[in-house]
Amino acid sequence: MQSEIIYTPEGVLRHPVGLLREMRRDLLGSREIAWRLMRRDISAQYRQSFFGFAWAFLPPLAMGMAFTLANNAKLINIGETDLPYTFYVMFNTILWQTFVEALNAPVNAVTGAKPLLARINLPREAIVLAKLGEVCFNFAIKLVLVVALFAWFRIEVGWTTFLAPFALLILILFGTCLGLLLAPFGGLYEDILKGLPLATNLWLFLTPVIYPVPEGGGAFATIIRLNPVTPLLVTTRELATAADSVSEPVRFVAVSLLTLFGLGVAWVIYRLAMPFVVERVSS
């Protein structure tokens, strides 16, 4: 039996329970569509690329080699790291890449699906879930490089290594939260899609990816510590490499709680804004 959808001028926020039920219904109903879209996009992504899966490995390898050479040549002064520096940069770069992909996923989903959304009434969550599936697929490929790095540099693992995926999930959800907030604007204005690479490249140098968290005070050190990605990335690395202790547990818990709350808010905003985006695109 086909479900009936009734549109009324009354705001949906007046009935939050009904809104939550609709969101849950559409999320569950999006699984099959998201799976088909994900398979299509992944197939197209790697079929049209000469290097294929190698693109998952090239950025962290290039970053690791470049900054290792610069550090050895004393062109930059990184300081001491608790892990071999080449491993440190490559592993952090993989985590950073995953965060950026999660941030871009909702924006790319809405931008790429505008013609589809204008013709077909499908759950808006499906296109986002499909892109998040790509993020997870790409990270699964990078796991091959991660395992190779652990073996090559003889990095010890411990019981905390099994907790690292949970910290990584928070990192992905934080990127998704920001992406959901930007996605409706990305569907209306191409400036968002063009400006994201510039913003994330600048953000990279404000995140301890190629250097450890600065000790002491100073404006730069304060910015690094206030960066919400810092505790997520650092904690994921420390758990994965079985560090003696987690250096930023309080900030990690605070950002994690903020991420979970913000993700719910961002989802509601995304859902409320998308009908206006589709209307603008269709007109």
Q: Is residue 270 part of a domain?
A: yes
Q: Looking at the domain assignment, is residue 12 inside a domain?
A: no
Q: What digits encode the pLDDT tens for the residues 174-212? A: 999 999 999 999 888 888 888 999 999 999 999 999 988
Question: Whole-number mean pLDDT of the chain?
Answer: 86
Is residue 14 in some structural domain? no
Question: Is residue 218 pLDDT above 60, yes or no?
Answer: yes
d(CA 192, CA 50): 28
The 10 Å CB-count burial string (b at 16+, else e) for 99-122 is bbbbbbbbbbbbbbbbeebeeeeb
Element (H, E) at 195: helix 190-204
Residue with tokens 């992905």: 172
Residue 53 confidence class, pLDDT cut points 50, 70, 90? low
Q: In which domain, by residue range, is 233 found?
A: 22-282
The predicted-structure confidence for 146-176, as pLDDT tens digits, reads as follows 999 999 999 988 999 999 999 999 999 999 9
CA distances from 27 to 88, 174, 181, 241 (A): 37, 19, 18, 35
Q: What percent of the chain has pLDDT over 70?
A: 89
Report the SS3 class of residue 129. Answer: helix
pTM of the model: 0.89
The model's pLDDT over 249-263, given as tens digits with 9 standing for 90+, comes to: 999 999 999 999 999
Say if 64 falls within a structural domain: yes
DSSP-assigned letter for residue 159: G
Kindly tell me the sign of the dihedral angle through the C-alpha atoms of 201, 218, 87, 156: negative
Our count of domains for the chain comes to: 1
Whether 69 maps to a domain, the answer reads yes
Q: At what angle do helices 249-282 and 85-112 cross, to 10 degrees?
A: 30
Whole-angstrom distance, CA of residue 124 vs CA of residue 271: 7
Residue 173 lies in a domain: yes
Average pLDDT over residues 56-66: 80
Give a yes or no: residue 116 inside a domain.
Answer: yes
Question: Roughly how many angstroms between the first and final C-alpha of the chain, as a whole number?
Answer: 32
How confident is the model at residue 265, as a pLDDT? Answer: 94
CA distance 97 to 58: 11
